[in-house]
């Protein structure tokens, strides 16, 4: 037994990611939402605390505006919410920035954050990368998060490539990455998820691509 103390952090399961410009494309929203619900059920079954994070911008903002339909929690997930869960409202990508999340987690006496929600290419990667300075280990459930297609002056990348690239990047340094099923097994056995590191990932990458 590891004595690991996990918390499941459910990030931004809100309507902005269901439809409109930020609608999640990969994995498909309905599939990732089911995995999020499954992770919550696993957490409840094994007494893993759950923290709900929601994004909110000032009224009139282009997305997540206060009191707008897009800011609301997705109705298909709302039934899963326990009124006793700590709730954190954020304005930045990382759930740690300008919020009380760190103090909430300190009160729960956790050492590992398990992240689900939206989106891979913004709040999930930012929150995972913010964990270590707070003395926390991060886990990301790869099938319970989601990405979008991106295009700008720097280039164009489809959602699947965005998602898969960021999962690889996260596992190389910032978080242990696994699917919901593997995470549930780790929770049940109270064991850490396996993870790579930057040197091991670099060597494996060199072997795979530079030996051709």
Does position 1 have pLDDT exceeding 50, yes or no?
A: no
Full-model pTM: 0.96
Are residues 141 and 114 in contact, defined by beta-carbon separation less than 8 angstroms? yes
The CA distance from 150 to 137, in Å, is 29
pLDDT digits (tens, 9 = 90+) for 42-60: 999 999 999 999 999 999 9
- Length of the chain, please? 212
Mean pLDDT of 117-142: 98
The CA distance from 116 to 187, in Å, is 15
Are residues 82 and 39 in contact, defined by beta-carbon separation less than 8 angstroms? no
Q: What is the mean pLDDT of the chain?
A: 96
- In sequence order, which residues have a C-beta less than 8 Å from that of residue 9 and are 6 or more positions away? 50, 51, 53, 95, 101, 113, 114, 115, 116, 117, 127
The CA distance from 130 to 52, in Å, is 17
DSSP H or E stretch at residue 123: none
pLDDT digits (tens, 9 = 90+) for 18-41: 999 999 999 999 999 999 999 999
Return the pLDDT at 52. 98
Q: Which CATH architecture has domain 6-209?
A: 3-Layer(aba) Sandwich (3.40)
Mean pLDDT of 110-117: 98
Return the pLDDT at 211. 66
pLDDT digits (tens, 9 = 90+) for 169-180: 999 999 999 999
- In sequence order, which residues have a C-beta less than 8 Å from that of residue 116 and are 6 or more positions away? 8, 9, 10, 11, 35, 36, 39, 141, 144, 145
Percent of the chain scoring above 90 in pLDDT: 96
pLDDT band at 5 (very low <50, low <70, confident <90, very high): very high
Return the pLDDT at 2. 47
Return the pLDDT at 212. 61
Return the pLDDT at 210. 87
Spans of all domains in the chain: 6-209
pLDDT digits (tens, 9 = 90+) for 144-202: 999 999 999 999 999 999 999 999 999 999 999 999 999 999 999 999 999 999 999 99
């Amino acid at each position: 037994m590891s004595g690991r103390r996990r918390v499941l952090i459910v990030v931004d399961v809100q309507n902005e990611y269901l439809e409109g410009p930020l609608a999640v494309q990969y994995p498909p929203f309905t599939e990732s939402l089911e995995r999020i619900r499954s992770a919550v059920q696993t957490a409840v079954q094994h007494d893993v605390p759950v923290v709900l994070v929601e994004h909110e911008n000032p009224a009139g903002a282009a997305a997540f505006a206060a009191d707008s339909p897009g800011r609301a929690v997705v109705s298909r997930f709302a039934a899963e919410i326990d009124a006793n869960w700590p709730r954190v409202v954020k304005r930045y990508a990382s759930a740690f920035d300008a919020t009380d999340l760190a103090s909430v987690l300190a009160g729960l006496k956790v050492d590992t954050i398990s992240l689900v929600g939206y989106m891979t290419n913004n709040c999930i990667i930012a929150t995972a990368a913010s964990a270590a300075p707070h003395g926390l280990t991060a886990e990301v459930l790869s099938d319970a998060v989601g990405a979008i297609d991106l295009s700008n002056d720097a280039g164009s990348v489809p959602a699947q490539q965005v998602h898969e690239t960021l999962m690889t990047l996260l596992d190389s340094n910032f978080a242990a990455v696994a699917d919901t099923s593997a995470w549930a097994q780790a929770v049940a056995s109270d064991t850490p998820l396996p993870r790579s590191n930057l040197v091991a990932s670099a060597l494996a990458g060199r072997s795979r691509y530079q030996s051709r």
